[in-house]
């Protein structure tokens, strides 16, 4: 059963334990709060008490699990989980994108199409590709890169994913390659080590559909020039006791959009920018694909 849940939710064993613990603690808190509230109401025992209790726990449970999920680090999962529950209860249909034939006839549902923007080796891009490999609902359809010799291009070739090499003038002062994104039917953009600022035209075309991962606990150590080794050296120079990652939506400012998820790790005695980078990469690889999946399933 646990293996089935782990595969269904695409989470690690540790994270599955945290999710189950959140369910358990949230349920206990709901029951406790429901009984306390009932004790304050002038309702006699019997059917009126039972019906009122059922209504109370139905209303209190979502609040309880959301509250518990925050310190447990599972807010993103439960936010998406409750949204899906609400959609099912309300009878809403999911937003399924349909493929169309040349004559306009609607065919089968098509998966959400992702474009990965990357400037470097592409380790995060590879983990995202691996996560959605074989998925019927999400497809990595395009890799966009601004550096002709970047390692991510080798990944694209090996994975047989189309590549779009971009240049600065058109990206910032032209059409921002929106025609190519439209042609590929891109629904969602993921920045995976992409070092250029995203132009306003692209943000307006994809509102709340562009995400980034930053190797620090924003709002700390964000802004222009704060990427990779620069961030880790700044963290160490400040003498911080911990650091981590932030997954956030992208807006017109560097590292400024609303945070979606953060994960933390302690800074060890003797840490260097290289050792810190290694642990941060592990956090990125563990959480980024999962959080993207949760956003797309919400």
- pTM reported for the whole predicted model: 0.67
Indicate if 278 belongs to the active site. Answer: no
The domains located in the chain, with CATH, are 2-90 (no CATH), 97-297 (3.40.50.170)
Single out the residue of 224, 178, 211 nearest to residue 284, CA to CA.
211
* pLDDT tens string 80-101: 777 767 766 655 444 445 555 4
Burial code of 99-123, b = ≥16 C-beta within 10 A, e = fewer?
A: eeeeeeeeeeebbbbbbbbbbbebb
Count other C-beta atoms under 10 Å from residue 239's C-beta. 7
* pLDDT tens string 181-197: 999 999 999 999 999 99
Give mean pLDDT, residues 54-71: 89
pLDDT above 90 coverage of the chain, percent: 61
Give mean pLDDT, residues 131-157: 95
**Among 131, 214, 232, 287, the one annotated catalytic:** 214
The beta strands (E) that lie in 76-209 are given as: 97-100, 106-110, 112-118, 138-145, 163-165, 188-191
């Amino acid at each position: 059963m646990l293996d089935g849940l782990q595969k269904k939710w695409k989470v690690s064993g540790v994270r599955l334990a945290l999710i189950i613990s959140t369910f358990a603690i949230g349920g206990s808190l709901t029951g406790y709060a429901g009984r306390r509230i009932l004790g304050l109401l002038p309702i006699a025992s019997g059917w009126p008490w039972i019906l009122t209790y059922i209504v109370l726990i139905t209303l209190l449970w979502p609040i309880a699990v959301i509250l518990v999920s925050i310190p447990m680090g599972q807010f993103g999962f439960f936010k998406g989980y409750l949204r899906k529950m609400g959609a099912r209860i309300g009878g809403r249909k999911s937003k399924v994108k349909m493929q169309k034939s040349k004559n306009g006839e609607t065919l089968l549902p098509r998966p959400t199409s992702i474009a990965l923007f990357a400037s470097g080796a592409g380790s995060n891009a590879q983990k995202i590709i691996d996560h959605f490999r074989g998925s019927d609902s999400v497809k990595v359809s395009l890799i966009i890169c601004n550096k002709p010799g970047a390692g991510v291009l080798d990944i694209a070739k090996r994975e047989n994913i189309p590549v779009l090499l971009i240049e600065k003038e058109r990206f910032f002062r032209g059409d921002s390659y929106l025609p190519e994104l439209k042609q590929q039917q891109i629904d969602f953009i993921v920045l995976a080590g992409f070092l250029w600022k995203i132009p306003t035209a692209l943000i307006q075309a994809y509102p709340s559909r562009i995400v980034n991962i930053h190797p620090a606990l924003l709002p700390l150590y964000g802004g222009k020039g704060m990427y990779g080794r620069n961030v880790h050296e700044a963290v160490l120079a400040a003498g911080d006791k911990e650091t981590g990652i932030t997954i956030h939506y992208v807006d017109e400012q560097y590292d400024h959009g609303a945070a979606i998820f953060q994960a933390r790790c302690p800074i060890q005695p003797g840490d260097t920018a290289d050792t810190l980078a290694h642990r941060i990469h592990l956090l990125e690889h563990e959480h980024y694909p999962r959080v993207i999946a949760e956003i797309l399933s919400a």
